[in-house]
Amino acid sequence: MPVIDKSTYSPPMLCSNPHIQTIMPSLLRRVGGVTFERERIDTPDGDFLDLDWSRMGASRLAIVLHGMEGDSTRHYVLGMVKALNRGGWDAVALNFRGCSGECNLKPRFYHSGDTEDLQTTVSHITAGNSYSELALIGFSLGGNVILKYLGEKGENVAPLIKKAVTFSVPCDLTACERTITLSGRGIYLKRFLRLLHKKIQTKMKAMPGSIDDSGYSRIKTLKEFDDRYTAPLHGFKDALDYYEKSSCGPFLSHISIPTLLVSSADDPFLAESAYPFQQARTSPNFFLEVTDFGGHVGFISFNGLGEYWSEFRAVRFLND
């Protein structure tokens, strides 16, 4: 039943193209007015996570997760944090391992199915016992982590977590990897591989002998990268094993709190199987909203607040 048939999103004039929606905000959007206070917490395996807090003295807190090779300074994270603060929420942005500006301590880094670091963050926050309500918000890879986490937890999710909102989630990682490899999407693929290469090079300097980039130029797809690095570093047989076990799709039916997934029908990263209509129709808690336009983590809006539609939508869902 919770398929939202009529989305309120309408793109501004000249902004309906999905590639404009995907690329323009990264290049041109600037979000001011957010001041972070960083906290470093330890992980059970002897590494660390950096949390960036924006506190307004609210009684409710939203945990925000960025996308692949993002961090807390990306426009979509800052825009969401600013909207949350305006809507009566404190916010904390979780930087995945190696994404906070400092190399993490282990050869491993982060991946689409890594829910353990989110659990570490939730446990740290709930131990402080200073909030009456928690919410989770995630973009792309971060959204996949949240949806998988909520499905894994099912009825055992922390009682303080009341709602979640995710955007542009690759619910079927195998199919979405093939989609981003298609002709015409090379600009995105090359960017991801370039950023990931920098991460490997950083680890090579910090941990000599534990990892290397010999022949990296021969890697042309995310699957090839994941076969060589992500899978072995994180305990998977190969990339396909990683995709199968990390995709959030099979976990959606077990979500026990009101959870919204918003994706655009023209998202250049998403395959058809990444739009889980059937799961939404049969779930009392999982809501799916598919906009006609919006690209990947786009949803551009022009208004006096400088707020994107996705930010307005998330806060409205949390506050309803």
Positions annotated as catalytic residues are: 140, 267, 296
Q: Which residue has the tokens 């370039």?
A: 194
Cα separation, 207 vs 258, whole angstroms: 42
Q: Give the C-alpha distances (Å, rounded to integers) separating 109 from 3, 41, 74, 214, 244.
A: 35, 16, 19, 19, 19
Q: Which residue has the tokens 């809507």?
A: 87
- How many C-beta neighbours within 10 Å does residue 50 have? 21
Cα separation, 111 vs 231, whole angstroms: 9
What are the start-end ranges of the H helices in 29-115?
Answer: 75-86
Give the closest residue to 7 by CA, choosing from 303, 283, 275, 284: 275
Enclosing H/E stretch for 128:
helix 116-128
Give the closest residue to 275 by CA, choosing from 136, 168, 165, 146: 168
Burial class, 265, CB count within 10 angstroms (exposed 0-12 / middle 13-18 / buried 19+): middle
Give the closest residue to 2 by CA, choosing from 251, 257, 249: 257
Contacts of residue 320, Cβ cutoff 8 Å, sequence gap at least 6 = none
Q: Indicate the residue type of 74.
A: R
- Here the tokens at position 117 are 């670091």
- Here the tokens at position 9 are 């999103």
DSSP, collapsed to helix, strand or coil, labels residue 197 as: helix
